[in-house]
Structure 1
Amino acid sequence: MTKFGETNRLSEIITQNIATATISIIIPTLNEAQNIKAALASIQPSTHIEIIVVDGGSQDETVNIAKSLGVKVISAAAGRAKQMNAGAAVASGEILLFLHADTCLPLGFDVMVREALAQPGVFAGAFALRIGAEQPSLRVIEWGVNVRSRFLQMPYGDQAIFLTKKIFNYVGGFPDLPIMEDFELMRRLRSLGKITIISVPIITSARRWLKKGVWQTTFLNQIVIIAYFLGISPQRLRTWYRQEKFKKF
């Protein structure tokens, strides 16, 4: 297909009535009983919303909690990319929003998402990041994340990525990788057009920073990104990341 033909096709894909579009919120879970209730509570009140919890085999009360709150729950093979793609496949909404189970959306997120996607040239978006703990070092991390997201148009999965289902299908969904699936999706989307960042932040759990240490976790994340660019396989990176994540200095 010529570049002109590709542009026309993309224009047709993103031309739809966003103002009244249903948002399907897809939440991948694996043993998130301590967090899922707060994440689900942050979605209300909102309008034209569908919630899909995609469980990867939880051994705790995650599934029971979600079902008790009237949320649709489906099962999928464990793995964030697999679970999010499974949720997208059954979603009925015109807009998809991928929410981590330890993350809470801001009040009025539904209006903000629709307004963001209605802007000319916008293909996807995410929220600014707020980490739910008071350590000053976390404010530095937030600043770095928000600068990267806004100026490089590279938000990550913990910022509640959203886009239309048509665009999601067009780029092939999340690549089936054991790690870096959100990074790779953003690279594909950025090649199409603008990725917007809503300035009102989501609030995500500080657990992964506090468990290992703020600077150690940040350093580990950057090493993974560099290694990925150098061509080290995602499977090998995932194994190494898990080992380092739980290793004590």
Structure 2
Amino acid sequence: MRAPISVVIPVLNAQHVLAGCAASLMEGVEAGLIRELIVSDGGSDDDTRRIADEIGAVWISGAASRGGQLKRGCEIAQGTWIMVLHADTQLEPGWSAVARAHLTLEKAGFFKLAFGSGGVPARLVAGWANLRSALFGLPYGDQGLLVSRALYDAVGGFQDMALMEDVALARALKGQLRALDARAMTSAAKYESAGWLRRGGRNLWTLARYFAGVPVERLAATYRKP
């Protein structure tokens, strides 16, 4: 029987983090869970392609839009389950046993968020993210997603959008998401660069505006301003 999970990772100049993300997946390969790794590129001009080739990933490329990149990656996935991860995220040891148990369920799963550095601010932000996910069913992309192909297709999958593709899919999966008892360790670089309070506040404000109906293109333009 073929391994059930296709892993899809969207990338854009991810040469410094992709190998680490892939290394954390090796226990899933050894456990017979991972069928393929698909790296969906949005126009990298660094060594990301070389690293993807070295780790044996399937490489596809297209316009830079995380929603579009995920959509393209999931479209070619051959597994009966799809796992989506960001390139700067590493699953902590022991995740494969948790994932295997989840495959017996019909719901989609997401991991508990943690940061690789940042001390108290990192723990507070991660704590809020995990609480938000548990109470409102709104995990973000850096928490990963494990969903069956059947359920993914049934709710329409990822939309080709520059921002909030993770929230849009989470809303489509309302009532069909559960937290997995394993952690996704995500890089704190963006928070440490922008400032934990500023970055966290920007995320909340962007989410509120999205729910209020502000077009994603406007949100993306504002979100990416320094």
Band the TM-score falls in, shorter-chain normalisation: over 0.9
1:117–1:124: 8 Å Cα contact kept in structure 2? Answer: no
CA deviations on 1:58-86 (whole Å, 9 max, x unpaired) are: 00000101101222211122111111111
The alignment partner of 1:218 has SS state of helix
Cα distance in 2, alignment partners of residues 187 and 40 from structure 1:
28
Cα distance in 2, alignment partners of residues 21 and 62 from structure 1:
26
1:113 aligns with 2:80: no
Once the two structures are superposed, the pairs formed by residues 1-249 of structure 1 within 5 Å of their partners are 22-46=4-28, 47-49=32-34, 50-119=36-105, 122-190=106-174, 193-243=175-225, 246=226
Cα distance in 2, alignment partners of residues 175 and 112 from structure 1:
28
Summarize the Cα distance change of 1:224–1:134 in structure 2 as closer, same or farther, 3 Å threshold. closer
| RMSD over equivalenced CA pairs, Å | 1.5
Structure 2: segments with no counterpart, 5+ residues: none
The alignment partner of 1:45 has SS state of helix
Structure 1 runs (4+) greater than 2 angstroms displaced: 106-111
TM-score (norm 2): 0.93
Task: Report how far residue 21 of structure 1 moved.
Answer: 5.3
Cα distance in 1, alignment partners of residues 100 and 138 from structure 2:
20
2:12–2:44: 8 Å Cα contact kept in structure 1? Answer: yes
Task: Report how far residue 117 of structure 1 moved.
Answer: 3.8
CA deviations on 1:2-42 (whole Å, 9 max, x unpaired) are: xxxxxxxxxxxxxxxxx975110000000000100100111
Counterpart code for 1:187: R
What residue in structure 2 maps to residue 6 of structure 1?
none
Task: Report how far residue 167 of structure 1 moved.
Answer: 1.0
1:117–1:125: 8 Å Cα contact kept in structure 2? Answer: no
Cα distance in 2, alignment partners of residues 52 and 111 from structure 1:
22
The alignment partner of 2:112 has SS state of strand
Counterpart code for 1:38: G
TM-score (norm 1): 0.85
Cα distance in 2, alignment partners of residues 20 and 113 from structure 1:
16
Task: Report how far residue 237 of structure 1 moved.
Answer: 0.6
Structure 1: segments with no counterpart, 5+ residues: 1-18
Cα distance in 2, alignment partners of residues 179 and 134 from structure 1:
25
Cα distance in 1, alignment partners of residues 55 and 108 from structure 2:
29
Cα distance in 1, alignment partners of residues 161 and 145 from structure 2:
17
Task: Report how far residue 108 of structure 1 moved.
Answer: 3.5
Task: Report how far residue 174 of structure 1 moved.
Answer: 0.8
Give me the identity figure in percent.
35
